[in-house]
Structure 1
């Protein structure tokens, strides 16, 4: 597929189409992508959905200069029909000219299997997600690794798992354990979330990890070190994978071909207690203090920074330049100069904690500093140097722990914000405010800088499909002024919104999520201004937030439909009332039939209100016409029951008080039989089968 040149003067947005947002691995990938994009002068617009869905909705297509397609290539050909370049991230090949960036799966799985076999395991199982290309590749590597060691790969359960979340893996593995018991002695999970779900299932079933079943994972997400027991896993650098994807797409935009069709990020085995090994993965690499000009402090700071880049060195500048503060502080201690205080050292450790968060890595950093101090003290003539070095190392250890605690406290505060945001969303969902100006008020409980809700316009207009900005969350007047603006789908988000979404940090995020169900598509939600420290915390509940927001639209739609039905029923009720009033008016007409004789034809059922109407009409007619005889025609009455008979008897009795008589007309065989069966007696009331019979009787009697 040919790629047309891109106008660099007006377009600098890289589009990211991903079917997964809300997990820790993706959060680190996105952070690496954003840093790399900013460094190269580009913005990253993240769109939730497969390429097919992104193309079908059309939002942002004119803003994007090139695409990164994550985890799937479904519909990618249609998305790239305008000739834009693309990079494939952890998905199947798409064709020549479309480089792939993915994890190193083959050798990593072989290392995990080797490690477990070395611990004596022979019945080893594998679980992964059947529809994910990475998990499938790892499953193939598992089969190969088992067979290469003369073991059976029959416990490759890839086809039995269709999701890769912790809760799904726990539920499915419980089903296997309930059915088959302890079917393996070790388990390789396709990612850490599945591994942690497996640990929960194994422990819930009464087995021990690792004594009964050893468990290993893949990725080394931050929570892997905190589960019980801590998880043995293959550590890869998700941020580096994200950076590589951005560098490949920027090269393509500038016409530079990829250096290789597939770029893989390396991984290293991190041994923790879940596999049952006595080994410990916190040992630092061999210390190398040689540096240009013999500056051992510079060499130490560079090696500390490289420690954070494991498992593979980064092509970018040092990720932890603040390590120089620690190295120079050790130099000051050895030289007898003033030591940096704990607060200064804590600020130096903070970027390392934010970048890695791995206890093993942070401990290895302190061990490197301790080893460097020991080497320098070996040749130090000053007897007080050892005491000063110990004082400095004590401060360094305390500073590292404080930085780690501060980071953990920040995570707890993020969870508190999440709880408040969820409570606010639930409150709005249960109130009418969700359809008013407060629709995005729940964003106040998050670290999101700007939010925008855009709904599809009812009419496509001359320029094709468009959205209308319904509401915004912002303190920027330029963004607030966007409410009500109609924007063509391809040009959304508007420049004002993209500018407001840029945070001061070099790793800002702008996310576009459909507000849709399988039945209806209302529009899209844009969240911007997220930064590295809070991005993962805000991505995790993103799907839940969107689901709640969709629920408000569905509730509003249901309420609108119900209100329409209520209005329709109210109108029908009013029509029924009007008709009933007309029937009452027409169903009791007083007709002077003969001099002194009135005819009243009754139509419809006779209830209490109708009986009162008949009584009033008869008495009024008798008084007005000076009548001596009243004929009540029951031909139009469907049935006569005890209540109806009582009403007629009451009418006859009241009429006699005015000196007139009442006779019933139109009593047929069916009505007569029913009156007899009910024991109805109409004393002193003459009954005629027809009006003609009544008239003949009146004529003979001379009235």
Structure 2
């Protein structure tokens, strides 16, 4: 094996020499540009390990006309769901040769609009944005040169590719579990107005209709922030204002559910004996609370993978590596990708017979 003395780092030519194949074949295997037979692929990968070759991501991105950096814009990293999601996006992006610049929007419309201005200290290839407040007008007014993928519950149909879970179906599964465990007076903390329900509220209402149970307005409470403090405040206010407490409670997120449990316990109610509680998101702390929290668990790894793959298709459609050939928003705006979810049973809900 020959090796340039000026460049002690193993090169593709070294891999090709050991594998006994052409440089083009090695490049196709390493970069995934073209199909290669499995025996040849295995031979090349064995040679990669033998010579210790590691791709130079900066050089590869430069050759492909890419910066090698993408932006992940989330409301706040102190919210456990987004911190965990960010980790999944970083891992998914690494498999595409991307580093991730994480940007906090603050969770308000102005912060999300500022993120769309593309005013970053370095060139980036695209953005994955978790939005809660943007409207189609804000997206249509942005500079369209930066590929964009949207995350979260707030859908803007026809604006950009969107990745999430089926929140209505997930909420319906949560409510069915509460009802199967004996719940008849169901509360929801974080409910949207019934005239314009969001997907999770719609799933809650569908579950009640399915079981022929009334949707009691006094038990459907909105929140002003996705925090444990707000969940505790709103739940305590509800308990102070009603004569009969609920026997089951669906919180719009785990963080809110934990605050709701604190309020229930402060009012002398036992979870789950008096009130069964279910959350949403399966944040890292959900299994460590007392009682541990039953919840809906979105597949965050799948969300991250789908978002990065959608962004890759915008940046380099067809794997051409040509940034200038990126798909226009009109080509991909109707893409709506769903990741799976599952119900995680823990101590905060009653067992189902």
Aligned counterpart, 2:37 = none
2:169 — aligned with what? 107
- Give the corresponding residue for 2:54: none
Q: What are the equivalent positions in structure 2 for 1:146-161 lying under 5 Å apart?
A: 146-155=208-217, 160-161=222-223
Matched, 1:251 2:325: no
**Which consecutive unaligned segments of at least 5 residues does structure 1 have?**
1-5, 280-703
Could you say which residue in structure 2 is the equivalent of 1:15?
71
User: Residues 223 and 182 of structure 1: is their aligned pair in 2 closer, same or farther, counting only changes over 3 Å?
Assistant: farther
Choose the corresponding residue for 1:142, options 198, 204, 211: 204
**In 1, Cα distance between equivalents of 2:188 and 2:101:** 35
Deviations 1:375-415, CA, capped at 9 Å, x for gaps: xxxxxxxxxxxxxxxxxxxxxxxxxxxxxxxxxxxxxxxxx
Report how far residue 62 of structure 1 moved.
Answer: 5.7
Q: CA deviation at 1:84?
A: 2.2
Secondary structure of 1:275's counterpart equals coil
Match of 2:49 in 1: none
Partners of 2:210 and 2:218 in 1: CA distance = 15
- Residues 295-347 of structure 1, C-alpha deviation per residue, up to 9 Å, x if partnerless? xxxxxxxxxxxxxxxxxxxxxxxxxxxxxxxxxxxxxxxxxxxxxxxxxxxxx
Pair 1:68 & 2:133 matched: no
Aligned to 1:267: 341
| 1:157-556 mapped onto 2 (5 Å cutoff) | 160-256=222-318, 261-277=335-351
**Between structures 1 and 2, the one with greater helix share:** 1
- Paired residue secondary structure (1:225): coil
Aligned to 1:31, what secondary structure does the other structure show?
A: helix
Q: 1:35 matched to which residue of 2?
A: 91
How far apart, in 2, do the equivalents of 1:55 and 1:270 lie?
A: 36
Name 2:113's counterpart in structure 1. 52
- Unaligned stretches of 5+ in structure 2? 1-61, 106-110, 319-330
- Asked whether the 8 Å contact 2:74–2:82 carries over to 1, the reply is no
Q: Kindly state the Cα deviation for residue 203 of structure 1 after the two structures are TM-superposed.
A: 0.2
SS in 1 for 2:225: coil
- Please tell me whether the aligned partners of residues 16 and 68 of structure 1 are also in contact (alpha carbons under 8 angstroms): yes
Determine the C-alpha separation between the residues in 2 that align with 1:152 and 1:95.
31
Q: List per-residue Cα deviations over 1:459-484 (Å, max 9, x = no partner).
A: xxxxxxxxxxxxxxxxxxxxxxxxxx
Q: For CA contacts below 8 A with separation 6 or more, give which structure has more relative contact order.
A: 2
1:30 touches 1:239 (CA, 8 Å); kept in 2? no
Counterpart CA distance in 2 for 1:204 and 1:130 is 26
How far apart are residue 60 of structure 1 and its match? 0.8
- Which residue pairs with 1:687 in the alignment? none
SS of equivalent to 1:274: coil
**Structure 1 contact 195–216 (Cα < 8 Å) conserved:** yes
Measured in 2, the distance between the counterparts of 1:89 and 1:106 equals 16
CA distance in 2, matches of 1:143, 1:108: 12
Q: 1:37 to 1:213 in 2, by over 3 A?
A: same
Does 1:77 pair with 2:77?
Answer: no
The separation in 2 between residues aligned to 1:84 and 1:168, in whole angstroms, is 36
C-alpha RMSD of matched pairs (Å): 2.7
From 88, 93, 101, the counterpart of 2:150? 88
Q: 1:10 to 1:259 in 2, by over 3 A?
A: closer
Q: Is the 8 A contact 1:130 1:160 kept in 2?
A: yes
| Cα 1:204–1:77 shift into 2, 3 Å | same
Deviations 1:178-228 (A, max 9, x none): 221543110011111111111110001111111111111112222111211
Q: Secondary structure at the match of 1:64?
A: coil
1:83 partner SS: coil
Equivalence for 2:327? none
Q: 1:21 to 1:254 in 2, by over 3 A?
A: same
Helix, strand or coil at the partner of 1:44: strand
8 Å CA contact 1:129–1:164 kept in 2: the answer is no
When residues 209 and 155 of structure 1 are mapped into structure 2, their CA distance, relative to the original with a 3 A threshold, is farther
Count of equivalent residues: 269
Cα distance change on mapping 1:213 and 1:19 into 2, 3 Å? same
Separation of aligned partners in 2, 1:93 and 1:221:
22
SS in 1 for 2:126: strand
Q: Following TM superposition, by how much is the alpha carbon of 1:126 offset from its aligned partner in structure 2, in angstroms?
A: 1.2
- Structure 1 residues 167, 7: CA separation in 2 closer, same or farther (over 3 Å shift)? farther
**CA shift digits 1:267-316 (9 cap, x unpaired):** 2222222112168xxxxxxxxxxxxxxxxxxxxxxxxxxxxxxxxxxxxx
SS at match of 1:224: coil
Distance in 1 of aligned mates of 2:219 and 2:240: 16
Q: What TM-score do the two structures reach when normalised by structure 1? A: 0.36
Is the Cα–Cα contact under 8 Å of residues 221 and 234 in structure 2 kept in the other structure? no
Larger Rg computed on CA atoms: 1
Distance (Å, rounded) in 2 between the aligned partners of 1:100 and 1:158: 28
Match in the other structure for 2:9: none
SS of the residue corresponding to residue 234 of structure 2 reads helix
